[in-house]
Structure 1
Amino acid sequence: MPKRRGWRWTAWVMAGVLVVAAGLTGVVWQNTYALREEKVSLWHGGKLLQGVLARPDRGPGPFGLVVFVHGDGPVDATHETFYRPLWESFARAGYASLSFDKPGVGGSEGDWLDQSMEDRAEETLAAVRWARGRPDVDGRRIGLWGASQAGWVLPKVAARDRRLRFVIAVSPAVNWLRQGRYNLLAELDRDGASGREREAALRRREATLALLGRRASFAAYRAALGDAEGMTEARWAFVTRNHRSDATADLRAMAGTPLLLVLAGHDVNVDVGETEAVYREVLPASSLTVAHYPNATHSLVDHEVEDSDLRLTLTAVLAPRRLYTDGFLADQARFVRRPDSGGGTTPEG
């Protein structure tokens, strides 16, 4: 969800000074959630995964359950606490939330960069099976929530487990290669790149795609392109493994499972127009609900907040529930309360 930035250490120090000056009572309250969190573990593929089961703060259950599927990167179970406002909103709707550290993150064994989207789907199915064995989970009311890269995982899981009650897809792309091109051009436009810079970036992209197409080694990539621009050998292997991902066939296979598609108006990562068009073409209108948030970024944070380093950090510390764009948390809770309601378009946030 909210993106990582190199400024974080400095901004947190600044925020800490302000927090101390303002007093801690309100901050502690803002970062206290109506949840009962339990550390849990799961053995999958010979490796231990560790995570969190966050149940509503009252009642014995059994509760419905939302299983979280992360986006890209080394994400821990709480997404550095940014999932907790979502967990609380689901708890108020009578649902628990389940989330695991990615392999190699936190207490989980393995390496998330060694995974394919198929591997991630199998891991999610294992989490669902594990949850159905819990007496405090209502196995008839289990659904999925996933963001960004999870868009290539969620349909695979829902196509294989037809018992899932719903899917919530936040800022998903459809095709890995088209998404990459859109993201590149959107960032160049945002940064005011010149025509020459744009042409150079597109040439580099075409050269990279040619290398991926013949499954070239990282050494060959470095030899052909020189500056790695942040690419590592492990990341290159991950991209090589997954760059042909396309969600269309899996979306068709999961058709009929109620799905909430969440789209942001300031998304430079995903072409939301293409995503919506494909989802509407492939999925039955009766099972698809589309929610638009015109003021939000890819991470569903208001773009005015995300564009200010200091404002983003202060909001995260002092009022974390307000990080997300207006209506987003309430709409998530409303959807899981009535997952079998008809499709349509929610009021814009």
Structure 2
Amino acid sequence: MLHARFIVKLLIGCCFTLFVLGCDAAQAPIRLSQVTFKADGAVRHAVLALPSRRTEIKGSVIFVHGDGAMNSFADGYYEPIWRMLASKGIASISWDKPGVDEAPGNWLSQTMDDRASTVLAAYSTLQETRELAGKPVGLIGFSQASWVMPKALRQNPNLKFAAFVSTPTNWLEQSEYMTVLRLVSEGKDDAFIEQQLGYDALLNELITSGASFTEYQTFIQNHIPQPFQPAALDPARYEFIQKNMLSDSTEDLNQIDQPIFLMLGAQDANIDVENNLVKYQSIFQYRPSQLRYSVYQNALHSMLKADEFSSINSPFWAWLKMIMMEEHAFQPEFLNDLGNWVEQQVEAN
């Protein structure tokens, strides 16, 4: 039986091949090339998406993944964005997370600092690439990249800008919000929700204290309330959460000078959009010109159109629809604003 990820890669390849064959070779918007670079002593497998016309390259952006076992293409999600940016003369780079598609390592063993180190290594790679050397570089990051990009921006002021797409500020607050939203959608009453949150608080205290995985297993066996049936963590996920669950981007954001663009979806079910926006505004209250923000109607956490994707319960069918719709799967103002802002930042630097 073929591995599911192999099937995904095969389908992505077929879709992309059909797209390219439908264009004259000279008009193909991007040139894709495989590159490797080292970060924290390990090899990273990356894809560099370059504008088809070499004379048009103005700068580049580093794509910073959200959570999960993401490959360079984010299973096809990134490619419409790459094409849009390439049409404006902007190159893109992205890589397989450790342990994904034969890349060495395990992404679940990484901290946010580790991930930021990879971003900095990717920057060096771009500066060593003949077509891109000396040209401005920025970041585009999604969701969990919230706790990665500020660290990279703080450590390397030569990163000129960053687009923050659907990014929370505090890990634990995001987790609580998602829990409450899920329980409300399941019809749970206030008493049940309070009981769940109380249990979660005790569990979080245990994990942040440095408890071993065995101690975690013992705790959930002895303390979990009878009605709850949460999915138990495996050892690798437990390690990842324990290393990163106290993440908060506030301190790092307070220390950066680069302009950022916060992009939020009004129908985002993963973060508290209103509260999150207030937090960013508070962080940049004395530097308001540094922050641009937009909340997009009819946009999910992924910035895909809510009216097209929110009712699809199958991840596979949602993915297939996204691949078939290409750029039309995205909230259109999001793509337009992202492209124009990145172009403006590149040209300003």
Same fold (TM over 0.5): yes
The equivalent position to 1:289 in structure 2, one of 275, 288, 292, is 292
For the pair 1:53 / 2:48, whether they are aligned, the reply is yes
**Conserved? CA contact 1:301–1:325, under 8 Å:** yes
Classify 1:129/1:89 alpha carbon distance in 2 versus 1 (closer, same or farther; 3 Å).
Answer: same
The equivalent position to 1:163 in structure 2, one of 143, 151, 158, is 158
Deviation string, structure 1 residues 253-290 (Cα, Å, up to 9, x no partner): 11x31111001111121122232222222222112110
312-321 or 277-286: which moved more? 312-321
The equivalent position to 1:110 in structure 2, one of 105, 110, 115, is 105
Alignment of 1:1-349 (within 5 A): 28-29=18-19, 34-60=29-55, 62-226=57-221, 229-254=231-256, 256-283=257-284, 284-309=287-312, 312-313=318-319, 315-339=321-345
- Helix, strand or coil for the counterpart of 2:134? strand
The sequence identity of aligned pairs, in percent, is: 31
Deviation string, structure 1 residues 195-248 (Cα, Å, up to 9, x no partner): 354234213312211211321111111111136614111111111111111101
**AA aligned opposite 2:333:** G
**Conserved? CA contact 1:89–1:332, under 8 Å:** no
Taking the aligned partners of 1:26 and 1:41, their CA distance within structure 2 comes to 22
TM-aligned CA deviation for residue 180 of structure 1: 1.1
**AA aligned opposite 1:268:** A
TM-aligned CA deviation for residue 249 of structure 1: 0.8
**Conserved? CA contact 2:76–2:323, under 8 Å:** no
**Structure 2: segments with no counterpart, 5+ residues:** 23-27, 222-228
Classify 1:295/1:25 alpha carbon distance in 2 versus 1 (closer, same or farther; 3 Å).
Answer: closer
Report the count of equivalent residues: 322
TM-aligned CA deviation for residue 341 of structure 1: 9.7
**AA aligned opposite 1:95:** I
More helix, by proportion = 2
TM-aligned CA deviation for residue 305 of structure 1: 2.0
Match in the other structure for 1:4: none
Taking the aligned partners of 1:329 and 1:159, their CA distance within structure 2 comes to 26
- Helix, strand or coil for the counterpart of 2:266? strand
Match in the other structure for 2:225: none
Taking the aligned partners of 1:193 and 1:264, their CA distance within structure 2 comes to 26
Deviation string, structure 1 residues 148-197 (Cα, Å, up to 9, x no partner): 00000111111111111210000111111111111111222233223354
RMSD (Å) for aligned C-alpha atoms: 2.7
**Structure 1: segments with no counterpart, 5+ residues:** 1-7, 17-23, 343-349
Higher relative contact order (CA 8 A, sep 6+): 1
